[in-house]
Amino acid sequence: MDFLYSITIAPFLDIGSDLIFFAEVLIGGLSAGVMYSLVALGFVLIYKASGVFNFAQGVLALFAALTLVGIMEWGVPIPLAMALTMVVMIALAFAVERLMLRPLVNQEQIILFMATIGLAYFLEGLGDTLWGSNVKKLDVGIPDVPFEAGGMLLQTFELFAAATAGVLVAALAVFFHYTRIGRALRAVADDHQAALSVGIPLKTIWVIVWSTAGLVALVAGIMWGAKSGVQFSLSLIALKALPVLILGGFTSVPGAILGGLIIGVGEKVGEVYWGPPLGGAIENWFAYVVALVFLVFRPQGLFGEKIIERV
C-alpha cells in the first residue's frame, strides 16, 4: 500500500511542493534532451537520405570527440583543431561510402543496419587504438558558470548547448528544403534506383550526407564531451537516441528535436520523482518503455510518415 502511494500520489505532491525545484529539474531534462536530439539528428539525416539506419551514429560522435581531443593535445588551437577534425570526418564519409555503402547498394535495410553495427565496432576500436581509451577532458572554451534566472539556478553551458542545437537545426532545415542538394537527398531517401535514373549522383550524395552527419556528430560529441568527459559511454548515447527517434519519427528533423526533449525531460522527472521508490537508476530503461508504449499506439511516431502498405 505504501509502495503504491509512493508511485502514484507522492511524486505529484513532491512536484507541487517545490515548483522552483521542479522547474530546475525540467530545465535539466531539457538540456539533456537537447543532447539526445543532437545525436538523433544525425540518425535522421542519414536515414532520410539513404534509408540506412546508422547504428554507428553514437560512435561517430565519440570518434569525432576523441579525434578533436587528440588533435588539441598536439597543441593545435581550437578552431583549427575543429576544422581538422571535420576533415577527418569527411574522409571517413568517403571511406564509408566507398567500402560499405557502394558494395551493399541494393541490399535490404536489415543488412545495412547490421553493417552499421559492424562499423560501430570498427570505429570504436580505431578510436581507442589511435587515441587510447581512458577518459579525456574536452575543453573548447564554452562558458560554464551558474547564474540565476527567475529564482532558478541554471548553467550557461545549457543555454549554449540549446542555442547551438537550434542554429544547427535551422541550418539543416534550410539545407533540406531550399537547396538543390537537399532535394536530391530527399529523392535518394525515397528510392535509390529512381534517383539514379534521373541522374542524381548517388555516391556524391552519400558522401555529403555522411559528412553532414559527421558534422552533427562532432557537435554532439563536443557538447557531450565537454559536459561529462570523452569516454566510451558516449557511444551508448546512440542507443538512447533510438527511443527519441521512435517518438519523433525516423524521418523527421523536428521530430528528432521534440522527441529528444520529451525523452530528456521524461527521464529526469522520472528519475527524480519516481526513482527513489523504485530503487533508482530507472533512467536505464525508462526511455525505452516510454518509446514502447508510444509505438503501440502510434507506430510512426509524432511526425513520421504513416506507412501505407500496398498490394
Binding site for another protein (CB under 8 A): 53, 99-100, 103-104, 107, 109-111, 113-115, 117-126, 128-129, 133, 239, 242-243, 246, 250, 278-282, 284-285, 288-289, 291-292, 295-296, 299, 309, 311
* Smallest gap from residue 104 Cβ to another protein (A): 6
Closer CB to another protein, 109 or 156, in the complex: 109
Closer to another protein by Cβ: residue 184 or 291: 291
119 or 220: CB nearest another protein: 119
- Closest approach, Cβ 174 to another protein, in A, equals 28
For 237-265, the three-class secondary structure string (H helix, E strand, C coil) is HHHHHHHHHHHHCCCCHHHHHHHHHHHHH
Smallest gap from Cβ 24 to another protein, in A, equals 26
Residue among 130 and 173 whose Cβ is closer to another protein: 130
Nearer to another protein, 94 or 288 (CB): 288
Q: How far is the CB of 287 from another protein (least distance, A)?
A: 9
Shortest Å, Cβ 291 to another protein: 6
Residue with smaller CB distance to another protein, 95 or 170: 95
Supply the minimum distance, in Å, between the C-beta of residue 126 and another protein: 6
